Amino acid sequence: MKRYSAFAIAREAMRQHMGWEKAWASPEPRPHYDVVIVGAGGHGLATAYYLGRNFGITNVAVLEKGWLGGGNTGRNTTIIRSNYLQDPSAAIYEKARSLYETLSQDLNYNVMFSPRGVMMLAQTHHEVRGYQRTAHANALQGVATEFIGPDRVKELCPIIHIGGPRYPVLGALWQPRGGTARHDAVAWGYARACSAMGMHIIQKCEVTGVRTESGKVTGVTTTRGDIGCGKLGIVVAGHSGVVADMAGFRLPIESVALQALVSEPIKPCMDVVVMANTVHGYMSQSDKGEMVIGGGADGFNNYTQRGSFHHIEETVRALVETFPMISRLKMLRQWGGIVDMTGDRSPILSKTPVEGVFINCGWGTGGFKAIPGSGWGMAELIAKGHSPLTADFGLDRFREGRFVDESVAAGVAH
Ligand SMILES: Cc1cc2nc3c(=O)[nH]c(=O)nc-3n(C[C@H](O)[C@H](O)[C@H](O)COP(=O)(O)OP(=O)(O)OC[C@H]3O[C@@H](n4cnc5c(N)ncnc54)[C@H](O)[C@@H]3O)c2cc1C
């Protein structure tokens, strides 16, 4: 595959851009692969990429029922941070964040990683104490964060009104190397790199059954025929319960729709990401100028991927005290994605009761930031049977009561 470079752009400009290759191939499925990954979201594609890059396993297919990146990976608000409370979470999220720093170079694809800084506002005394505690935990974990006062918040984000009547800004947990990336580009970059290694990415191929023999996986049934495999990775986010059911086991997962919206584009007015967890709203400005606003999750389990009016109203009402300027913005569009929630708000990266079947799910409202770290750990788990990054996120923790409780860091945040 030809590398993207400044020279290539100049060359193609001369040829009226007729010489670009397709970023990834669209092959017919083979009858058998060493590893099949179900789900071409960021986590599935990153798993495939690191299987090839770190372990030389390239006889891999990634099967996708829709289009590549069309699940939550292409629907999220792209916040990247690693300021979690528990050590296993800090380890995997910080691994991911650090991989994002050089992901564009590693993939030879511009994922537009923008470490513009993320602040989580403290708007109650309870939150002040909670975030100070997280800042101390992060210092011990080697994650660079600090607790900052309201004046520094105002300096970093002048459009914030810090003296609100209900929820004045009392400070914030600030991670200067947190930020955003272009979500589609992350999926496309991994897909292109996987395809370059000879892996098959097969879109419009829904897995409808999992085939087993004597408790061991032998393949999957799909809308494009049966496909055999030595190992199977299930990486389908909101549909994890459905595919696990095909393999004959249950998951402690609930699927709900989570919503977001963007405003009309405006001139640059905010160059950090702000999360206001007490009122539940968060905002950043996209490169196109739209204000990207994250809303809440539906209060009932469902599989819809659409927005609803009451969420716009709730989210904007919550944010307007802290960001009075949004009262004058027109909203452009809204959407939803199906997120997979666990009880302790931590992911599951695990072997399963079926030999050769591995599962990666439970990232809930905050898995975009984790994509490179999750792929790294999941690939190691599939290739070697264990990984230090995933060791604490096994399915057995729910039976044994070893929760990785991130309900404070991740319960309503992203
Ligand atoms: C509105 C919203 C805002 C968010 N904001 C953030 C944020 O700011 N920061 C952050 O870190 N995270 C955020 N998230 C969460 C994040 O998007 C997800 O955790 C992450 O994208 C999950 O990636 P994935 O690869 O596991 O899943 P997905 O991208 O959903 O990929 C799973 C794929 O599996 C496919 N699939 C399902 N069933 C089958 C089948 N039977 N056969 C074949 N394919 C199948 C689906 O079509 C889908 O493409 C947000 C999510 C939403 C919805």
Average pLDDT, the chain: 95
Q: Which residues of 370-384 are buried (b: 16+ CB within 10 A; e: fewer)?
A: bbbbbbbbbbbbbbe
> Which ligand 1 atom is at minimum distance from the Cα of 70?
49
CATH of domain 30-79+85-94+183-253+344-410: 3.50.50.60
Residue 411 pLDDT class (50, 70, 90 cuts): very low
CB of 39 closer than 6 A to ligand 1? yes
Q: How far is the CA of 74 from the centre of ligand 1 (A)?
A: 7
Ligand 1 nearest atom to the CA of residue 366, by list position: 12
Largest CA distance in the chain: 65
Pocket test of ligand 1: the residue of 37, 72, 221 to mutate, having most ligand atoms within 8 Å of its CB, is 72
Q: How confident is the model at residue 296 (pLDDT cuts 50, 70, 90)?
A: confident
Q: How far is the CA of 20 from the centre of ligand 1 (A)?
A: 29
- 115-143 burial, b for 16+ CB within 10 Å, e for fewer? bbbbbbbbbeeebbebbeebbebbeebeb
Domain ranges of the chain: 30-79+85-94+183-253+344-410, 118-176+262-340
Phi, psi of 46 (to 5 degrees): -65, -35
| Distance, CA of 242 to CA of 190 (rounded, Å) | 25
Residue 207, classed as helix, strand or coil, is strand
CATH class of 118-176+262-340: alpha beta
pLDDT single digits (tens) 84-125:
999 999 999 999 999 999 999 999 999 999 999 999 999 999
The CA 356 to ligand 1 mean position distance, Å, reads: 23
Q: At which residue do the structure tokens 């919550």 appear?
A: 318
Question: pLDDT of 272-292, one tens digit each?
Answer: 999 998 888 899 999 999 999
pLDDT in tens, 224-246: 999 999 999 999 999 999 999 99
Question: At residue 12, does pLDDT exceed 90?
Answer: yes
Which ligand 1 atom is at minimum distance from the Cα of 208?
Answer: 41
Question: Locate tokens 């300027």: which residue?
Answer: 325
76 C-alpha vs ligand 1 centroid, how far in Å?
Answer: 8
pLDDT of residue 301 exceeding 80, the answer is: yes
Q: Does the beta carbon of 369 lie inside 6 Å of ligand 1?
A: yes
pLDDT for res 107: 98
Phi first, then psi: give them for residue 4, nearest 5 degrees.
-80, 135
Ligand 1 touching residue 366 (CB < 6 A): yes
pLDDT at position 23 is: 96
Rounded Cα distance between 283 and 306, Å, is: 20
What is the CA 54 to chain-centroid distance, rounded?
21
Residues 6+ apart with CB under 8 A from 285: 268, 269, 270, 271, 291, 292
The model's confidence at residue 295, banded by pLDDT at 50, 70 and 90, is confident
pLDDT band at 297 (very low <50, low <70, confident <90, very high): confident
Please write the tens of the pLDDT for every residue from 138-155.
999 999 999 999 999 999
Query: Which residue from 366, 356, 362 is spatially nearest to 394, judged by alpha carbons?
Result: 362
413 Cα–ligand 1 center, Å: 15
Is pLDDT above 90 for 33?
A: yes
